């Protein structure tokens, strides 16, 4: 509580901080507290020493001016010593005065305590009497209450007995019902199991059938896969052969083209618009079997130059591989079409 007070003070406005006002209020408070403290039993914690408080709070003095002349310092110290002495004397007197005051207060307090103890004793007596009366009243009430309780207990017991019998009957019925149920269940279970067994057997049969089918299917699939693989390999081989044939054919196409380009003398009347197409048939030896003009350029000299070129090769460069030859060179078309003249 005091802490609170102090705090409220310390947070108060500036004028309240003035030392004098502060000590006056504190003294007042201490006095009140002392009175209150003494009036109650010693259960309250002892107050902090007012001395210490007063000494701490009162002591602040305005500080001497820090700026002092050198020659004045001894005089200053002398004055200070005298002032201290005076202060000590004043304090001693104050102490004596306080001790006297305290003694006086002590006497008053003891008288007052005596008075209070007397009043206490009377009050306690009255209280004891009251307590005896109260006890009698309570015993009467307790007796009445016990009676009522006994009655109540009897009623409850009967009630419980009735409930118990009721319960036993209900339980017997329940048991009977349960057994009935159990029987039905067992019956159903047996029936179910029989059915399940049949189902299981049927499924088993089915499964076996299916397995057989799957096995057959798997076998078939495997066969098919093998077949597909075989076909794929064959196709791959064929493609490889084809590619080889193609690359070989391209090689020979290039050779034929080169030979024919060297052998072809386009006539001076040839234009880039002229195209003569010839179908030629070769023997596997590369010899020319036949040549047919399938598309005339419209210019006889041009057609003749193409026919002459085709006829001029005594032997066409053809692949040794018979398949490649048959595939590409047995019969093919040659187109003469000058891209840029001269």
* Residues lying near other proteins in the complex (CB under 8 A): 249-250, 253-254, 256-258, 260-270, 272-273, 299-302, 304-309, 311-312, 314, 328-329, 331-340, 342
Q: Give percent helix, percent strand, percent coil of the chain, each to the nearest 5.
A: 75, 5, 20
Q: Which is nearer to other proteins, 26 or 336 (CB)?
A: 336
DSSP notation for 195-253: HHHHHHHHHHHHHHHHHHHHHHHHHHHHHHHHHHHHHHHHHHHHHHHHHHHHHHHHHHH
Least gap, CB of 207 to other proteins (angstroms):
49
Least gap, CB of 308 to other proteins (angstroms):
5
Judge whether 38 and 109 are in contact, CB under 8 Å: yes
Q: Which is nearer to other proteins, 58 or 255 (CB)?
A: 255
Q: Which is nearer to other proteins, 26 or 266 (CB)?
A: 266
Residue 35 is inside which H or E element, if any? helix 19-39
54 Cβ contact partners less than 8 Å away, ≥ 6 residues apart = 23, 26, 27
Least gap, CB of 293 to other proteins (angstroms):
11
Judge whether 83 and 73 are in contact, CB under 8 Å: no
Least gap, CB of 280 to other proteins (angstroms):
9
Least gap, CB of 216 to other proteins (angstroms):
37
| Beta carbons within 10 angstroms of residue 319's beta carbon | 20
Q: Which is nearer to other proteins, 26 or 318 (CB)?
A: 318
Q: Which is nearer to other proteins, 174 or 234 (CB)?
A: 234
Q: Which is nearer to other proteins, 110 or 262 (CB)?
A: 262
308 Cβ contact partners less than 8 Å away, ≥ 6 residues apart = 265
C-alpha closest to that of 35 among 21, 50, 23, 22: 50
Q: Which is nearer to other proteins, 181 or 273 (CB)?
A: 273
Least gap, CB of 206 to other proteins (angstroms):
49
Cα separation values, 36 from 39, 109, 336, Å: 5, 12, 140
Least gap, CB of 211 to other proteins (angstroms):
45
Q: Rounded distance, CA 277 to CA 295, Å?
A: 5
């Amino acid at each position: 509580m005091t802490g609170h007070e102090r705090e409220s003070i310390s947070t108060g406005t500036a004028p309240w901080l003035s030392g004098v006002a502060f000590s006056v209020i504190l003294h007042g408070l201490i006095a009140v507290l002392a009175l209150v403290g003494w009036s109650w039993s010693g259960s309250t914690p002892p107050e902090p020493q007012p001395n210490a408080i007063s000494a701490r709070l009162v002591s602040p003095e305005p500080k001497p001016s820090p700026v002092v002349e050198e020659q004045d310092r001894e005089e200053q110290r002398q004055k200070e010593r005298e002032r201290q002495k005076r202060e000590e004397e004043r304090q001693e007197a104050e102490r004596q005065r306080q001790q006297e005051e305290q003694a006086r207060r002590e006497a008053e307090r003891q008288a007052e305590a005596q008075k209070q103890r007397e009043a206490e004793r009377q009050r306690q007596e009255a209280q004891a009497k009251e307590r005896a009366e109260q006890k009698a009243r309570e015993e009467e009430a307790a007796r009445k209450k016990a009676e009522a309780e006994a009655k109540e207990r009897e009623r409850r017991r009967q009630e419980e007995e009735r409930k118990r019998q009721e319960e036993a009957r209900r339980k017997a019925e329940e048991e009977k019902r349960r057994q009935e149920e159990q029987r039905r269940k067992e019956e159903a279970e047996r029936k179910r199991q029989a059915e399940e067994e049949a189902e299981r057997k049927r499924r088993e049969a089915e499964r076996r059938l299916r397995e057989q089918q799957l096995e057959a299917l798997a076998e078939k699939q495997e066969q098919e896969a093998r077949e597909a693989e075989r076909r794929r390999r064959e196709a791959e081989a064929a493609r490889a052969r084809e590619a080889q044939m193609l690359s070989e054919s391209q090689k020979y196409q290039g050779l034929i083209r080169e030979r024919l380009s060297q052998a072809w003398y386009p006539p001076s009347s040839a234009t880039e618009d002229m195209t003569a197409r010839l179908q030629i048939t070769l023997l596997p030896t590369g010899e020319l079997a036949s040549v047919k003009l399938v598309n005339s350029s419209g210019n006889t000299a041009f057609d003749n130059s193409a026919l002459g070129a085709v006829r001029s090769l005594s032997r066409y460069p053809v692949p040794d591989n018979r398949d490649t030859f048959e595939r590409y060179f047995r019969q093919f078309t040659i187109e003469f079409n000058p891209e840029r003249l001269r």
